[in-house]
């Protein structure tokens, strides 16, 4: 009976395209129909972008990375489909952080796709939808984040004024929209 139930649940999970909410249980697939991935807005945490030491062949528009090809001059970058755009105010030395990263090159076919069964896009986490988006971790102040890691990204919501913030290991950079 347990095996049948496990197979049934696995099949349902593979066929459904529901939302993923990380950090709290606020909301459901019924009331958040435009969300693929959402993070809690009450925990003063962010997303840590992948540390990239070799950008060769990395050309998927919308990619966000911590460019550590020169570990002593790392910076957060965004690929706009044509060129890499620097989102950092200045560079940072992330050499000591690279020591905790895996030394072997990862499997380039390994990725998590949310919103579809497959995706042609390259990336570690691929959100594949034309009608849904990711809701970033939201904080009221970047100063409330204790010991941020290089490559951290959050959305600041300061009384309704929203700003995208990136930490490159040295300082925060802010992008308003």
Per-domain boundaries in the chain: 1-176
Q: What is the mean pLDDT of each run of 10 residues along the chain (177 residues)?
A: 41 44 54 68 80 86 91 94 92 87 62 83 80 82 90 87 89 85
| Rg of the chain taking only CA atoms, in angstroms | 18
The pLDDT value given to residue 29: 52
73 Cβ contact list (under 8 Å, min separation 6): 91, 92, 93
| Largest CA-CA distance found in the chain, in angstroms, rounded | 59
pLDDT in tens, 50-71: 888 888 888 888 888 999 999 9
pLDDT in tens, 20-31: 555 555 555 555
Distance, in Å, from the CA atom of 55 to the CA atom of 85, rounded to the nearest integer, reads 13
Q: What is the pTM of this model?
A: 0.71
97 Cβ contact list (under 8 Å, min separation 6): 51, 149, 150, 169
Distance, in Å, from the CA atom of 169 to the CA atom of 158, rounded to the nearest integer, reads 23
β-bridge pairing 51-52 and 64-67 = parallel
* Residue 41 tokens, joined: 């807005």
DSSP one-letter string for 66-132: EE-SSGGGBEEEEE-SSSEEE--SS-B--HHHHTTS-SSPPPTT--EEESSS--SS-SSEEE--SS-
Distance, in Å, from the CA atom of 29 to the CA atom of 84, rounded to the nearest integer, reads 35
Distance, in Å, from the CA atom of 9 to the CA atom of 77, rounded to the nearest integer, reads 39
């Amino acid at each position: 009976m347990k095996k049948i139930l496990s197979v049934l649940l696995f099949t349902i999970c593979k066929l459904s395209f529901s939302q993923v909410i990380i950090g709290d249980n606020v909301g459901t697939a019924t009331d958040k129909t435009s969300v693929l991935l959402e993070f809690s807005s009450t925990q003063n945490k962010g997303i840590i972008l992948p540390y990239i030491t070799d950008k060769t062949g990395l050309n998927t528009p919308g990619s966000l990375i911590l460019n550590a090809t020169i570990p002593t001059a790392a910076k957060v970058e965004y690929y706009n489909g044509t060129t890499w755009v620097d989102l950092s105010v200045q560079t940072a030395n992330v050499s000591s952080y690279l020591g905790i990263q895996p030394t072997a090159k990862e499997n380039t076919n390994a990725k998590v796709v949310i919103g579809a069964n497959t995706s042609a896009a390259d990336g570690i986490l691929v959100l594949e939808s034309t009608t849904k988006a990711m809701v970033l971790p939201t904080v009221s102040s970047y100063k409330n984040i204790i010991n941020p890691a290089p490559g951290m990204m959050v959305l600041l919501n300061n009384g309704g004024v929203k700003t995208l913030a990136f930490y490159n290991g040295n300082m925060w950079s802010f992008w308003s929209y």
